[in-house]
Chains A and B, each alone.
Chain A
Amino acid sequence: MNDKLHTLLIRSFDASLDENERVQLQHALLEPEIRHERDRTVLLRTKIKETTATAFGPFFVQRVLQRLVSAHEEFRRWLLWGYRRVALIGAVIVLLLASYNMSKRDSVSLAAAFAQPEQTLEQVLRLEVPFQ
């Protein structure tokens, strides 16, 4: 078979031919060999289309939704895990600082733990009215 005609025949299935090409193909199709090739191509294309799978396994939709829900749940768990770690580390740091402050002042009190200056009422009042 003429290569040019074969190419034209195969192209006719997927692209529009111009008038000249259409006439050329019409004439060519009078030959049994070209017609046979056309029939082979039609059959091939039909069979490929016919044997196509049209679904995944059963419960596909449910599996997709389950994966989405699991991903959300996973993210929430990850956040919770992160939050707990941060909270625990923060608490340990606060306790260490409080212990350090108390040991430095040699006193066990909230004021010592948070390093607040220990002032008497008189001292505070004096600070409030410095220019009297």
Chain B
Amino acid sequence: MSHVSTTPDDQLIAAARSGSLEAFGKLVERYEGRVAATVIGMVGDCAEADDIGQEVFIRFYHAMGRFRGESKLETYLTRIAINLCLNELKRRKRHQFLFIRSASAPEAEASYQDPGHNQHEQKRIVDQALQELKPEFRSVIVLRLIDGYSTEETAHILNIPVGTVLSRLARAQEKLKQHLEPWISQIL
């Protein structure tokens, strides 16, 4: 496991603003996990996820001068990540509409296999179920259940009312339960 610096964020940001790439690298190292959870949860484990992850930090690097620390850096990065992911999902939808419209889209069937104790297989099944959700439902699941933000923080990041977060969470969980029913029933 790599050693992550214990220097406070504001000191690293100040150093990075002065041109220290080493300090910026430490920030990237510190928040890679959080950004990865958000991005991979939103767009799936694919090549685009890595590109979006890089773009999150590049955008932050260029916006560092404007970052006043009013929100936590983690929240700031998550907001950039969510916006980039929503753009990517829109792009995919447009692409799908333009190029795969005539082709019969494969039915969103869960290719369920017994995941057993195989962590990789479990991950694939959950990932697939998440990808079946519409972006607005997926984003609340990712922020609330994966990133662990409170309902209020989720509402703040997505700029929607708390009530909307709660109703989307309830509907999203219902859809996930339907999708993962064979697996859940087997475990319980």
A-B interaction: yes
Q: Report the minimum CB–CB distance from A93 to chain B (whole Å).
A: 37
Determine if B83 is an interface residue (Cβ-Cβ < 8 Å): no
Determine if B177 is an interface residue (Cβ-Cβ < 8 Å): yes
- By the criterion CB–CB under 8 Å, are B36 and A44 in contact? no
Determine if A20 is an interface residue (Cβ-Cβ < 8 Å): no
Q: List the A side residues contacting B54 at CB < 8 Å.
A: 60, 63-64, 67
Q: How far is B119's CA from A47's CA once the two chains are assembled, in angstroms?
A: 10
Given contacts A48-B145, A61-B28, contact A36 B188 (CB under 8 A): yes
Given contacts A53-B40, A54-B36, contact A10 B188 (CB under 8 A): no
Chain A residue with Cβ nearest B140:
A14
- By the criterion CB–CB under 8 Å, are B50 and A56 in contact? yes
List residues of A whose CB falls within 8 A of some B CB. 7, 10-11, 14-15, 36, 39-41, 43-45, 47-57, 60-61, 63-65, 67-69, 71
Q: List the B side residues contacting A60 at CB < 8 Å.
A: 28, 32, 50, 53-54
Chain B residue with Cβ nearest A48:
B145
List residues of B whose CB falls within 8 A of some A CB. 21, 24-25, 28-29, 32-33, 36-37, 39-41, 45, 49-50, 53-54, 57-58, 61, 119, 122-123, 126-127, 130, 141, 144-146, 148, 151, 162, 165-166, 169-170, 173, 176-177, 180, 183-184, 187-188
Given contacts A14-B166, A14-B169, contact A55 B188 (CB under 8 A): no
